[in-house]
Amino acid sequence: MTNWLIYLFEVSICHALFYLLFLGLFRNLSFFQVNRIYLLSAAILGFIIPAIQIPFWDNHASEIMPLQMTEVSDPLSRDSNANIPNSDFPWLISLVFIAYLGGMILYFSKLVSTIIKVSSLIRKYGVKQCSDVKTVHLNSGPAIFVFLNYVFINMNKMNISSIEFQQVIEHEKNHIFQRHTLDNIMMELIITVCWFNPILQLIKKELNSTHEFYVDQRVTQNTQDLDSYSRLILRLSSNKEEHIPLTHPFSMYNIKRRITMLNTKKNKNSQLLRYIMIVPCLAMLAVSFSFVEKSTDETNKVLASENSVVISKITWNGNTLYTSEFLSNYVGIRVGDQFNEAAINQKLSYQPEGSDLASLFMDEGYLFFTVNVKKEEHSGTVDLIFDIYEGDKITINKVFVTGNQEADSEKILSMISFKPGEHFNRSKLVASLRKIAESGLVDPENVAPNLIPHLNNRTVDIEFVVGDL
């Protein structure tokens, strides 16, 4: 759930950057079809780039020294946590996710209701053939608009000459031939997924304007009388009524800019070079969201290929926080895979970036988590048995600093990412140790944690042992 929300945040950043690039370099160009392709591609690529994982860089971060645990004399029985809840309800994240789903359902409902509304107009008024297009003659509503391959006309508001009427029909026919309604439907679906992102609404608005610019250009390409067409746009704009989403009304989108673009000379082909700037934009987004740390997967595959033993059964015992299926996927094993003991041991060993199995539990407060692996080998197969001990969920009691004579304890404590009363979190502890070591206040080689558990009340004191410079 959290990963999905982070993904949507990264998608929003991609859309914002693509839109800013369009605004700064492409918006006023007369390459309308290129701009159409760019805007549609930007809306799609915004979802693809953060979803792609490209192994690119190595993590050379040094490991933080192992945690030192001060022994206690009154350990609780391992069975004493049977009636203690294992995890807190992540109410804030769940609330945000529920709100997100509610918004998505609302936007999708609007999309469906629009399609139903237009379909009902077709059924109510019927379809006639006019100038090679299907027309629906209305008694009320907007003067004229297009949806898919239908032109909806309200003759009561079409007080124009027959020549002008042919221009309007030609305008709407171009919308049909270019399948602009499909662009709108696609944008509405994208907005449904990222309804909270206002940038997508702006992209959709620019896309609709680009549709109009292109169609206006096509209609007037064989005439020199641009003034009469501009006046026609203005005259029909006075018939604005409630706009039906997904449709293309004749005079609705940014009329002043339409007339300006209509009377602007086409750009020279050399201006197409501006679109080269898309390349560094894609590269920057890929580096930010797609390039990830190189893993040892390829090495593990080689090792596995040299091992003919196949995993025939996977058993997880003692796990209550996560399902057995989730844990198997997290470790990267499944029945039928070749047995790769090195890869499994790596996932069970401490990893500085927190990708090991213990971090999964310790970051949720299970300080005393342990896992023992047993393997039962048969002829060409192996059964894996993971015995997990989760233990109690531990709360932080005290946090203090020792060993410093000159360094200010308050400054050191201000760099710690957790507070008393919170549940233990190993990733926050490691991050705090690294921050203290890099602060310049203490000897970076002499920073270590000492955990003092109090099992009678399921708490732990965390001592940061430091040395002065």
Quick: pLDDT tens for 90-123: 567 778 888 889 999 999 999 999 899 889 888 8
CATH number of the domain where residue 373 is located: 3.10.20.310
Residue 89: pLDDT over 70: no
- The mean of the pLDDT values for the chain is 83
Domain with 131 in it: 2-52+89-284
pLDDT at 465: 92
Same domain, 122 and 65: no
One-character DSSP codes across 101-152: HHHHHHHHHHHHHHHHHHHHHHHHH--EEETTEEEEE-SSS-SEEEETTEEE
Which of 284, 307, 330 terminates a domain? The answer is 284
Count Cβ atoms within 10 A of the Cβ of residue 194 and give its class: 0-12 exposed, 13-18 middle, 19 or more buried: buried
pLDDT at 405: 87
Percent of the chain surpassing pLDDT 90: 36
- Residue 449 lies inside a defined structural domain of this protein: yes
Quick: pLDDT tens for 317-365: 999 989 999 999 888 888 988 888 888 888 888 877 778 888 889 999 9
Which of 352, 369, 389 terminates a domain? The answer is 389
Same domain, 119 and 175: yes
The SS3 call for residue 74 is coil
pLDDT at 162: 78
Same domain, 79 and 45: no
Interacting residues of 203 by C-beta distance below 8 A, sequence separation 6+:
15, 18, 19, 22, 39, 42, 43, 187
- Residue 291 lies inside a defined structural domain of this protein: no
pLDDT at 82: 37
Same domain, 277 and 408: no
Residue 10: pLDDT over 80: yes
Same domain, 160 and 173: yes
pLDDT at 78: 38
Same domain, 380 and 399: no
- Residue 69 lies inside a defined structural domain of this protein: yes
Same domain, 280 and 196: yes
Q: At what angle do helices 198-219 and 255-262 cross, to 10 degrees?
A: 40
pLDDT at 86: 40
What is the rounded average pLDDT of the residues 299-323?
75
Rounded to whole angstroms, the Cα distance separating 468 from 465 reads 10
Model's pTM, two decimal places? 0.57
